[in-house]
């Protein structure tokens, strides 16, 4: 049974921590947590945008919002986040930050792919390990790893991004099965096209509108709000029922067909 709004801080703990929260979907996750009465730690690289977002959420919801400027690619991120949050109980952890090397695999530099692995695989592992231990010790908490429809098959133009998102998807599912007996909910959140500044600025505008590709971007607020209603419905939650239907339909097709269909969309709109 999903907890009621009133029970959120009691069920999970007083604070949320959202990694990658200065704008778009990450800011929406922070706002949705604040709307349920949680205080929030927000992490991102750009100080001005992060502080503006933190101030806006604090004003709107009357909660404490603590901005911490940190790069998820920093090898020291575990220590930095620990120092910034050890005095509070993080009851909800959302790993939203992502790096998405864009272009054919061999055309993107190896360095860029490796930074992607750090942001999309290593850092979520570091933070989920640390915060997960504290949650199981207290017998309550929730972890959301934000992944993507791209994680469900090889994806042309985003090959290493999609592979890294598959890592987050499968990590979250395994953690769900391990932590549920300790009172901790884990969800791998499979997100479809969402109208965030990052996503809109990465579109190849020559290609027309996303609607032409039957991809209707959703609002960050609707996508963020949905997962908080489904924290108890892991291991995998989709950002919209249509995403789940599309995933199920693709899974029944020959693999080459599924991979090529995704590649036609990504190479048209993100080449
Ligand atoms: N938008 C979509 O259509 C879509 C589709 C499928 C999945 N997703 C997933 O949804 C999540 C959000 O995606 P989005 O691209 O739309 O972005 P977003 O949440 O709208 O913005 C990305 C946020 O992460 C922060 N960030 C990025 N790199 C960071 C780093 N190295 N260290 C710290 N913070 C960092 C950015 O702030 P700074 O720049 O200030 O650091 C920004 O606040 C990602 O996990 C993505 O894979 C999105």
Q: What is the pLDDT of residues 27-63, one digit of tens each?
A: 999 999 999 999 999 999 999 999 999 999 999 999 9
Average pLDDT over residues 192-209: 80
CB atoms within 10 A of CB 232: 14
What residue ranges line ligand 1, CB within 6 angstroms? 20-26, 43-46, 49-50, 71-73, 96-99, 119, 146, 148, 165, 191, 193-194, 196-199
Segment 248-261 shows an average pLDDT of: 96
Which residue, judged by its Cα, is nearest atom 43 of ligand 1? Answer: 22
**Side-chain half-sphere exposure of 115, counting CA atoms within 13 A:** 15
pLDDT of residue 1: 45
| Mean pLDDT confidence for 150-155 | 98
Q: In what order do the strands lie in the sheet with 184-191?
A: 65-69, 39-44, 15-19, 90-95, 141-148, 184-191, 236-238
Quote the mean pLDDT of the chain: 94
Q: Is 98 helix (H, G, I), strand (E, B) or coil?
A: coil
Is 161 labeled as catalytic in the residue annotation? yes
Dist. CA 245 → ligand 1 center (Å):
25
For atom 20 of ligand 1, the residue with the nearest CA is 24
Answer whether residue 252 shows pLDDT above 70: yes
Residue among 70, 74, 84, 96 whose CB has most ligand 1 atoms within 8 A, to mutate: 96
Specify the ligand 1 atom closest to the Cα of 168: 45
Residue 138: name the closest of 91, 79, 185, 83 by CA: 91
**Could you tell me what percentage of the chain is helix, strand and coil, using 3-state DSSP and rounding each to the nearest 5?**
55, 15, 30
269 vs 33, more confident: 33
**Residue 29 phi/psi, 5° resolution?**
-60, -45
CB atoms closer than 10 angstroms to residue 268: 16
Q: Which of 95, 161, 167, 238 is catalytic?
A: 161
What's the start-to-end Cα distance of the chain, in Å?
A: 43
Which distant-in-sequence residues (6+ apart) come within 8 Å of 139 by Cβ? 182, 183, 184
Tokens read off for 27: 């800011």
pLDDT beyond 70 at 133:
yes
Across 215-227, average pLDDT: 91
Cα 186 from Cα 235, distance rounded (Å): 6
**What beta strand segments (E) does 72-222 contain?**
90-95, 141-148, 184-191
pLDDT of 16 > 80? The answer is: yes
Ligand 1 atom at shortest distance from the alpha carbon of 21: 43
Identify which of 97, 160, 270 to mutate to test ligand 1's pocket (most ligand atoms within 8 A of the CB). Answer: 97
pLDDT score for 215: 63
List CB contacts of 13: < 8 A, sequence separation 6 or more: 89, 90, 91, 92, 135, 138, 140, 141
Distance 261 CA to ligand 1 centre (A): 24
Please state, for a pLDDT cut of 70, what percent of the chain lies above it.
94
pLDDT per residue as tens digits for the range 80-93: 999 999 999 999 99
Question: Which residue in this structure is represented by tokens 């969402």?
Answer: 194
């Amino acid at each position: 049974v999903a907890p009621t709004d009133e029970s959120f801080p009691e069920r999970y703990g007083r604070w949320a921590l959202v990694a990658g929260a200065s704008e778009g979907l990450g800011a929406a996750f922070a706002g949705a947590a604040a709307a349920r009465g949680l205080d929030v730690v927000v992490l991102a690289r750009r100080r001005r945008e992060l502080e503006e977002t933190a101030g806006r959420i604090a004003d709107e919801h009357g909660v404490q919002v603590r901005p911490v400027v940190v790069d998820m690619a920093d090898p020291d991120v575990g220590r930095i986040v620990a120092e910034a949050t050890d005095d509070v109980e993080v009851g909800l952890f959302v790993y939203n930050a992502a790096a998405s090397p864009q272009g054919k695999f061999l055309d993107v530099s190896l360095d860029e792919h490796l930074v992607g692995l750090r942001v999309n695989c290593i850092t979520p592992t570091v933070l989920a390990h640390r915060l997960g231990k504290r949650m199981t010790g207290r017998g309550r908490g929730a972890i959301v790893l934000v992944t993507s429809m791209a994680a469900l098959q090889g994806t042309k133009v985003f090959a290493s991004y999609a592979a890294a998102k598959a890592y987050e998807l499968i990590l979250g599912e395994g953690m769900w099965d391990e932590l549920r007996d300790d009172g901790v909910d884990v969800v791998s959140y499979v997100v479809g096209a969402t109208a965030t500044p990052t996503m809109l600025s990465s579109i190849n505008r020559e290609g027309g509108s996303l609607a032409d590709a039957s991809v209707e971007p959703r609002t960050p607020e609707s996508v963020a709000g949905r997962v908080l209603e489904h924290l108890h419905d892991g291991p995998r939650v989709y950002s919209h029922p249509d995403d789940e239907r599309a995933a199920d339909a693709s899974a029944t097709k020959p693999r080459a067909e599924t991979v090529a269909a995704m590649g036609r969309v990504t190479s048209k709109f993100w080449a």
